Amino acid sequence: MKEERGREWRNAVYIVIGLVVAAAAYRMFLIPNRVVLGGFTGVGQLVNRFTGLSVGTVNLLLNVPLFLVSMRSMGVRFGVRSLLAMTGLSLLIDWLPLEPLTDDMLLSAIYGGVFTGIGFGLILRGSATTGGTDMLASLMHRVVPVVKVSFAIFCFDGLVIAASALIFEPQAAMYGLISAFISNVLVDAVLEGPNAANAYFIISDHAEDIARRIMDELDRGVTALNAMGMYRRTDKQVLLCVVNRFQTMQLRRLVFAVDPKAFVFSTRSHEVLGEGFTPMKQ
């Protein structure tokens, strides 16, 4: 129970900080300079241009029906956290007492992307979402399974950014694309955190020698997987070892020092939990 309360408090801190950072991006950079990232906040910027209705209010009005439809499938805790996060973001976008920092569209696109990426990444780390086109795309996928979520998000956000070229000016859409790219990169970086690593698969006739040196010199665990070389039908061992980015070159040098004919390939591991990396919090 104590650990569960601690986890909820940690989620709450992530969400609150994320909301303030994301809302600050809209208040200081994106809205004053008409840089549109897409999503329902982007729709709000376009609607505001014609009606004067605030961006946060439009975001709230568009999201509420989606939350009502999706709440059951989201689960109670995630749904409540997300509903509060969406409402908080809408209110902060309209009422956070911050003034624009620059009228340079390029700077606004860059810093708006950085701030929104960090902000939305923290909200997701807090096990919540602010709704928007992600939720709309998920609903569409449920109704029409052939439409992939990623494709639907791309279409929705692309249409919003394209509309900004017509409603504001073509440059607005160009800067919006820059900002959206930066934002997505930063969201991934925040979600992955410092835990990203490389998983190496090593095929060699000297597997035991390589494994021993990895364990002794790099202090990393190694797992041997039984395999068969299909060309000659010979039994082999494939070594699996996960190392952080600072040890990748050491591992390569070590492997080929033992066996210059070794076959090595790696895959990017976006999150590594367990001994030697980040322990999983219950």
pLDDT tens-digit profile, the chain (282 residues): 666 777 788 889 999 999 999 999 999 999 999 999 889 999 999 999 999 899 999 999 999 888 888 777 667 778 888 889 999 999 999 999 999 999 999 999 999 999 999 999 899 888 888 888 878 877 787 778 777 776 888 888 889 999 999 999 899 899 999 999 999 889 878 876 666 678 899 999 899 999 999 988 888 889 999 888 888 888 888 999 988 766 787 888 889 999 999 999 888 776 666 655 555 554
- Per the CB < 8 A criterion, the answer to whether 56 and 90 are in contact is yes
Q: Which domain holds residue 255?
A: 196-269
In a domain, 278, yes or no: no
Computed on alpha carbons and rounded to an integer, the radius of gyration of the chain in Å comes to 24
Domain's final residue, options 193, 225, 260: 193
| The predicted structure's pLDDT at residue 243 | 85
In a domain, 130, yes or no: yes
CA angle 9, 10, 13 (to 5 degrees): 85
Residue found under tokens 């990169």:
185
Residues 81 and 60 in one domain: yes
Give the CB-side neighbour count of residue 123, counting CA atoms within 13 A: 26
Residue found under tokens 């929104």:
116
Residues 189 and 216 in one domain: no
Phi-psi region of 102 (alpha: psi -120 to 50; beta: other; left: phi over 0): beta
Taking 3-state DSSP, the helix, strand and coil percentages for the chain, each rounded to the nearest 5, stand at 65, 10, 25
Tokens of 24: 């600050």
Residues 163 and 260 in one domain: no
Residues 142 and 252 in one domain: no
Cβ contacts of 72 within 8 Å, gap of 6 or more: none
Which H or E run contains 3?
helix 2-25
pTM of the model: 0.76
Number of neighbours of residue 234 by Cβ within 10 angstroms:
10
